[in-house]
Structure formats: structure tokens, C-alpha cells
Amino acid sequence: MVCQDLMKSDVKCISPLTTLEEAAVRMRDDGIGFLPVCDDVGRAIGTITDRDITIRAFASGEPGSQPVEPFMTRSVVACRRTDDLAYAVDLMSQEKVSRILCVSEEGVLEGVISLSDIAQLEDGALASYTLRNVSDREVHA
């Protein structure tokens, strides 16, 4: 199985200039906790989660009118849509993330695979392997 068989491709990304409040509204309205941040040609340059908004911005008294850029995670964990799924799973375990971005050769965002997508697979061993290897912070108490 390759990544494009599993990835969700209807992924919305935000701009680095999107405000924290706008990002939070998007997360609320779409029922998601994670947004890729893309530049103006669609290349993934970071990610931001609901937890990032709370911990990195709100907890320090930063107003919601600030852009997400200084608060996003800049290291993007990504693979190609044609990569084998096992490769993506290894990378997620290694990097201790619960989501991986699928990008084109040019770095343009094409889809996202999350731990819960992998958990839905028939191959339960793959899912439990991944789950055991992602950090506590991602599935935190």
C-alpha cells in the first residue's frame, strides 16, 4: 500500500499570516485539531495544532490577533504520495508525530495521513506499532 491510498486529500491549509483566532475558528468549525501552513504557492512550511495555540500563544498572553507564523512548528514531517505506507509509518515513529504530510516533488501539499487513519487499517500490528512509538505528548494525558 502506498501513501496516496490512505491520505486525505481534501486538506485545507492556512497562510502564515492567518491569525491565531482565525485558525482556532477553522479548527472549531471543521472539527479538526491540526492545520498545515502553506506559502502562496501551496508549499507546506509548517503546521499548527490546537495545543500549539493554547500552549505557545495563549499561555504566554499572546493575543489572538497575532499571525500563526511565530507559533507554528517549522519542521515539516513529510513523504511523497508514491512512498510505501511502511516508510511513512517508520518516519512518524521516528519523528514521534501523529500526522505526516504528503507533498509533491516541489513540496506542494497534496494530503495528510494521521495515526487514526492507520488505526482503521486491517493491519492492526502496523497501527499498534505506530501508536506505541508516537510520543506521549501527541496522545497525552
State in angstroms the smallest separation of the CB of 62 from other proteins: 10
Q: Under a CB-based contact definition with an 8 Å cutoff, are residues 111 and 11 in contact?
A: yes
Cα 15 off chain centre by = 14
Q: Under a CB-based contact definition with an 8 Å cutoff, are residues 85 and 58 in contact?
A: no
Q: Per rule CB under 8 A, is residue 136 in the interface with other proteins? A: yes
Q: Per rule CB under 8 A, is residue 132 in the interface with other proteins? A: yes
Positions in 7-66 near other proteins (CB under 8 A)? 8, 11, 20-21, 24-25, 27-28, 32-34, 50-51, 53-55, 57-59, 61, 64
Over the window 79 to 108, marking each residue x when it contacts other proteins by CB under 8 A and - when it does not, the resulting string is: -------------------xx---------
By C-alpha distance, which of 118, 84, 79 is closest to 102? Answer: 79
| Ranges of H-type helices in the chain | 20-30, 50-52, 85-95, 115-119, 124-133
* Rounded Cα gap, residues 79 and 14, in angstroms: 20
Which residue, 41 or 141, has its beta carbon nearer to other proteins?
141
Residues of this chain that bind other proteins (CB under 8 A): 8, 11, 20-21, 24-25, 27-28, 32-34, 50-51, 53-55, 57-59, 61, 64, 98-99, 112-117, 119-120, 124-125, 127-129, 131-132, 136-141
